[in-house]
Structure 1
Amino acid sequence: MKIMCLNGWGGKMHDVLLPYLQREQPDILCLQEVVHSPRSSKPELTYRDGDHVLPQRANFFGDVCAVLPTHAASFCPAAQGVLWDGDMSVPSQWGLATFVSRDLPVIGQAQGFVHKSYGTDGYGDHPRSRSAHVVRVHNHETGRSVTVGHMHGLRDLRGKMDTVERRAQARSMLALFDSVARADDIAVICGDFNVEPDSETLALMRKAGFEELVTSGNFPGTRTAQYLKPGRFADYMLVRGLGGRADFDVIYTPEVSDHCPLVLRL
């Protein structure tokens, strides 16, 4: 079983990302920064937040569904705001998505929020609403059930320091995860957490019995050359109940986003 976690950057690099996903065919894909604009037929729209302007795939969720047609797809929006087609505003939802191979029976799941609640009238001020999704599948080849959860951590304009909101976010993620997982499962929590390796977020997850694979594997970071700011860590994958050494990798090439894919093989 191949589990992949990736911040898809709104599909900005779709021309290389989509062929990569089609080729790799992860059994479970945890994808953050997913755009879904069902009222638009345009391939691309523009995100504007002050001086921050970013091209977005208008229906990034549908794009990924098309290259993973044998997967069950769940889109978990955090908010509905607007993207722009020139001077025309287009309603668009933003959040995360989970793709599970139909070969894997889904025997439990939960969708919820780790910060605020669904934003119905715009993306809102930072730190914005954040959703999370947890799925529990059974692997008949191994006879084990696997629970996988992911979130997109808060973006705080002041930086990636520990905050009260981030502490509450980590606890909410663990509570949502524990509502689905069972004691004998292989357990995986992943995502773009937007924190540093020495963060309280990761400390809380370690206290819950998880091993963090990026830093324990001595990887130099999870950002690609597309990311021009300082700081090379944002994405993490944690495991519990594996019962052995993890077959884990951070993928630096090809570059498919400003984040690297994280890949765990069970």
Structure 2
Amino acid sequence: MQIMCLNGWGGTLYSDLLPYLSQAVPDVLCLQEVVHTPESDKDWLTYRDGDHILPQRANFFRDVCAALPEHVAVFCPAAQGVLWDEEQSISSQWGLATFVHRSFPIVGQVQGFVHKGYAAESYGDHPRSRSAHGIRVYDYATDRAVSITHMHGLRDLNGKKDTPERFEQAKRLLNISQAVSEPGDLRVVCGDFNVEPGSETIRLLEDDGLVELVNHYGVETTRNSHYKKPGKFADYMLIDRVEEIIDFQVLQKPEVSDHCPLVLTLKTDAQKDQLCKDSVQVLLA
């Protein structure tokens, strides 16, 4: 099973991202910063927040669904606000989405909020509402369930330092992961946490038995050349059994967002059997 976690940057680089996803075809894609505008058939709209103006791929959720036609897609909105088509305002939803290949049945899921609640009338003041989604899927290759929970952590205009709001957010994220998991599950938690590597968020999750992989593997940054601000980290992935990992990568290339894709590949039973045989051969040599 391969799990990818990525902040999609509102589809800004969709012309690079969609071909990449069509080629990579992760079994599970945890995608943050997703735009969904069912009231419009426009390709692009504009986000305005004071002097902060950004192009937004108006139906980014629909675009990714088309790139991954064999996946079951779940969109989890955090807020409905306004995007602009020149001077016309158009209601648009913003949140995160999870895509699961149809060969992995979803046998449980929990959707909730890690900061505030659903903002129905506007995106709201910073730090804005943030959602999380947890799924429990069955992996027939290993005859077990895997629970995967991701969030997009709140953006604080003062930076990524620890705050009481972020600590409460981490507790809510952990609660969602625990709620969707059952004893014996392999557990994964990931997302754009918007915190530094030594944050209370990471410590809280690690205290629950999870290992944070960006630090574990000595990754130097989870951002790329499109990110011009100070700070090298935002995205994290944790697992409760590192021995189940066959590969973990933070991909600098291709650049499909201002965040790097985090890609976790888990062992199958066949790979476990081969590793056991290799170990026996080494011991007998």
TM-score by shorter chain over 0.5: yes
Residue type at the aligned position of 1:115: H
Bigger radius of gyration: 2
Give 2:18's aligned amino acid.
L
- Tell me, which stretches of 5 or more residues in structure 2 are unaligned? 267-285
Match of 1:101 in 2: 101
Question: Which deviations, in whole Å up to 9, do the C-alpha atoms of 1:152-209 show, x marking residues without a partner?
Answer: 0010000001000000000001001111101211100000000000100000001011
For residues 72 and 189 of structure 1, what CA distance do their matches in structure 2 show?
Answer: 19
Distance 2:216 2:242 in 1: 15
Residue ranges of structure 1 left out of the alignment (5+ in a row): none
Alignment of 1:48-87 (within 5 A): 48-87=48-87
Q: Secondary structure at the match of 2:167?
A: helix
- For the 8 Å contact 2:193–2:235, the answer to whether it is kept is yes
Shift of 1:262: 0.2
Determine the structure 1 residue equivalent to 2:42: 42
Rate the CA distance shift 1:261–1:28 in 2: closer, same or farther, 3 A. Answer: same
Where does structure 1 differ by over 2 angstroms across 4 or more consecutive aligned residues? 241-246
Q: TM-score, normalised by structure 2?
A: 0.92
Following superposition, the deviation at residue 242 of structure 1 comes to 4.5
Distance 1:245 1:42, change over 3 A: closer
C-alpha distance in 1 between matches for 2:130 and 2:245: 31
Conservation of the 8 A alpha-carbon contact between 1:187 and 1:242: no
- Which digits, 9 at most, give the CA deviation of each residue in 1:99-136, with x for residues without a partner? 00000011110001011110011000011101100000
Aligned AA (1:116): K
Q: Secondary structure at the match of 2:180?
A: coil
Q: Are residue 196 (structure 1) and residue 196 (structure 2) matched?
A: yes
Answer yes or no: is 1:137 the counterpart of 2:137.
yes
Give the distance between the partners of 1:246 and 1:133, measured in 2 at CA.
25
Stretch deviating more after TM superposition (181-190 or 166-175): 181-190
Distance 1:244 1:38, change over 3 A: closer
The separation in 2 between residues aligned to 1:224 and 1:53, in whole angstroms, is 21
8 Å CA contact 1:186–1:242 kept in 2: the answer is no
Query: Structure 1 residues 138 and 245 mapped into 2: Cα distance closer, same or farther (>3 Å)?
Result: closer
Is the CA contact (8 Å cut-off) linking 1:11 and 1:34 kept in structure 2? yes
- Contact 2:211 2:242 (8 Å CA) reproduced: no
User: Structure 1 residues 115, 24: closer, same or farther in 2, change over 3 A?
Assistant: same
* Residue 262 (structure 1) aligned with residue 262 (structure 2): yes
- 2-side partners of 1:29 and 1:245: how far apart? 17
Q: Which residue of 2 aligns with 1:24?
A: 24
RMSD: 0.8
Aligned partners of 1:46 and 1:84 also within 8 Å: yes
Matched, 1:165 2:175: no
- Conservation of the 8 A alpha-carbon contact between 1:185 and 1:241: no
SS in 2 for 1:20: helix
Specify the alignment match of 2:209 in structure 1: 209
Q: CA contact under 8 A between 2:134 and 2:148: conserved in structure 1?
A: yes
1:58-104 deviations in Å (ceiling 9; x for gaps): 00000000010100000000000000111111100000000000000
Q: Give the SS at the match of 2:22.
A: helix
Aligned partner letter, 1:83: L
TM-score of the superposed pair, with normalisation by structure 1:
0.99
Distance in 1, matches of 2:57 and 2:72, equals 21
Shift of 1:243: 3.5
In 2, Cα distance between the equivalents of 1:53 and 1:191?
24
1:247: how far off? 1.5
Judging by fraction of residues, say which structure has more helix: 2
2:192 is aligned with 1:181? no
- Structure 2 letter corresponding to 1:3: I
Q: Who is 1:146 aligned against?
A: 146
